[in-house]
Amino acid sequence: MNKNVLITGANRGIGLALVNAYLTDDWQVYACCRETEQAEALKQLQTTTESLTLLELDVTDHQAISELSQALAETPFDLLINNAGYYGPKGYGFGNTDVEEWRKVFEINTIAPLKLAEAFYPQLKAGRPGVIACMSSKVGSMTENTSGGGYIYRSSKAALNSVVKSLSNDLLPQGIISVALHPGWVQTEMGGPNAIISTPESAQGLKAVIDALTTEQSGGFYNYDGSLIPW
């Protein structure tokens, strides 16, 4: 029986690499992105496999999330990967934080993952049961913040980690595992050209971590190599 995964932010970078990784492992992949017409790589993949369903979704549109869940009400999901993310402005210092950008980053990085978990909870519960994997970042770790700055992105990921911990407490009694994941420093538009690993390397590592998850690991924060990251 094929397993089903819903991946947000699936049109490029780590999201696209995750799509490829799960397709290679014979999963049925539901790939979400804001503008399907612009998702050339996903559209090309669709021509080569029947295991990929391309879905248009703006993760900040909560009504659209609800409608998508209703449209997929009969699909039991084994895995929800909240991958869509936004870094926001770079290079600003203390005293120059753009509050509107901060709100935008929180909408995408922190609020959307919770709204998706709420909307797809019935399908996840039906999916033998499911896993919720949220793409966090090591910069959201309080322990590892030794350099300061990055207020917008750091705080959004720290808040996401708190969401994951609460999801674990609320959903683990039904068998649903919730984890926060760090993809590594990846060669993407966000990670930049000096990053040390490729998107396929990150995706394969993340998939291996997710594949091996146990209920005892729910509520944890893990690197793409499986190591535990301190809060």
Residue by residue, pLDDT tens for the chain (231 residues) are 689 999 999 999 999 999 999 999 999 999 999 999 999 999 999 999 999 999 999 999 999 999 999 999 999 999 999 999 999 999 899 999 999 999 999 999 999 999 999 999 999 998 889 999 999 999 999 999 999 999 999 999 999 999 999 999 999 999 999 999 999 988 776 666 777 789 999 999 999 999 999 999 999 999 999 999 999
Predicted local distance difference test score (pLDDT) of residue 190: 63
* Tokens matching residue 216: 């005892």
**Tokens of residue 50, six digits:** 């029947």
Over residues 148-165, the pLDDT tens digits come to: 999 999 999 999 999 999
Tens digits of per-residue pLDDT, 184-195? 988 776 666 777
- pLDDT confidence of residue 196: 78
- H or E stretch including 157? helix 151-171
Quick one: pLDDT at residue 191? 62
Q: Contact, 112 vs 60, CB < 8 A?
A: yes
Q: Distances in Å between the alpha carbon of 139 and those of 29, 182, 183, 185, 191? A: 29, 9, 11, 11, 12
Domain ranges for the chain, please list them: 4-223
pLDDT of residue 188: 72
Per-residue confidence (pLDDT) for residue 185, from 0 to 100: 85
In this structure, which topology does domain 4-223 adopt according to CATH?
A: Rossmann fold (3.40.50)
Sign of the torsion angle spanned by Cα atoms 204, 14, 211, 36: negative
Q: Where are the beta strands (DSSP E) in the chain?
A: 4-7, 28-33, 52-56, 79-82, 131-135, 177-182, 221-223
Amino acid at 131: V
Residue 186, pLDDT score:
84
Q: CA triplet 96, 98, 103: central angle to 5 degrees?
A: 145
